[in-house]
Amino acid sequence: MTEEIRVRFAPSPTGKVHIGNIRAAIYNWLYARHVGGKFLLRVEDTDLERSTPEAIQALFDCMEWLGLGLGDEPVFYQTKNVKRHLEVVERLLASGDAYKVERTSRDGKTGVVTMFRMPKEGTIEFDDIVKGHMAKKAEDIPDFAIVRSDGSPIFHLANVVDDIDQRVTHIIRGDDHVENTFKHICLFRAIGAPIPHYGHLSMIVNAQGKPYSKRDGAAFVGEFRDAGYLPEALFNYLLLLGWNPGDEREVLTREEMVSLFDLEKVHVTAAKFDLKKLQWMNGEYIKRLPRDEFKAAMRKSVEGLEGAAGRDEAWWDRLCDQMQVRTKFLKDMPGNIEYFFRDDYAFDPKAVEKRLAKDGVKATLLDLADRFEKVATWDAVSLEVVVKELSQGQGMGPWVHPVRVAVSGRTEGPGLFELLELLGREHSLARIRAAAAKYCP
Partner RNA sequence: GGCCCCUUCGUCUAUCGGCUAGGACAUCUGGUUCUCAUCCAGGUAAGAGGAGUUCGACUCUCCUAGGGGCUGCCA
CB of 355 to RNA, least distance (A): 10
Pick out residues in 5-44 that bind RNA (CB under 7 A). Answer: 12, 44
Q: Compare residues 169 and 202 and give the one whose CB is closer to RNA.
A: 202
Contacts of 352 (CB under 8 A, 6+ apart): 405, 409, 439
Pick out residues in 58-97 that bind RNA (CB under 7 A). Answer: none
Pick out residues in 137-196 that bind RNA (CB under 7 A). Answer: 137, 140, 142, 144-145, 148-150, 154-156, 159, 175-180
Pick out residues in 247-266 that bind RNA (CB under 7 A). Answer: 248, 250, 265
Binding flag, residue 246, RNA (CB under 7 A): yes
Q: Which stretch binds RNA (CB under 7 A): 62-70, 100-108, 187-195, 224-232?
A: 100-108
Contacts of 106 (CB under 8 A, 6+ apart): none
Contacts of 227 (CB under 8 A, 6+ apart): 218, 329, 331
Binding flag, residue 109, RNA (CB under 7 A): yes
Binding flag, residue 272, RNA (CB under 7 A): yes
Could you say which of 23, 38, 85, 404 contacts RNA (CB under 7 A)?
A: 404
Contacts of 148 (CB under 8 A, 6+ apart): 111, 113, 154
Binding flag, residue 412, RNA (CB under 7 A): yes
CB of 57 to RNA, least distance (A): 18
Pick out residues in 283-312 that bind RNA (CB under 7 A). Answer: 283, 287
Pick the closest to residue 62 from 13, 125, 109 (CA basis). 13
Pick out residues in 316-345 that bind RNA (CB under 7 A). Answer: 325-326
Helices 425-439 & 397-408, crossing angle to 10 degrees?
100
Helices 275-288 & 231-240, crossing angle to 10 degrees?
130
3-state secondary structure of 270: coil
Q: Which stretch binds RNA (CB under 7 A): 189-197, 241-249, 371-379, 426-434?
A: 241-249
What number of chain residues touch RNA (CB under 7 A)?
80
Pick the closest to residue 126 from 56, 178, 65, 70 (CA basis). 178
Q: Compare residues 95 and 104 and give the one whose CB is closer to RNA.
A: 104
Binding flag, residue 132, RNA (CB under 7 A): yes
3-state secondary structure of 167: coil
Under a CB-based contact definition with an 8 Å cutoff, are residues 36 and 170 in contact? no
The strand ranges marked E within 304-400 are: none
Binding flag, residue 414, RNA (CB under 7 A): yes
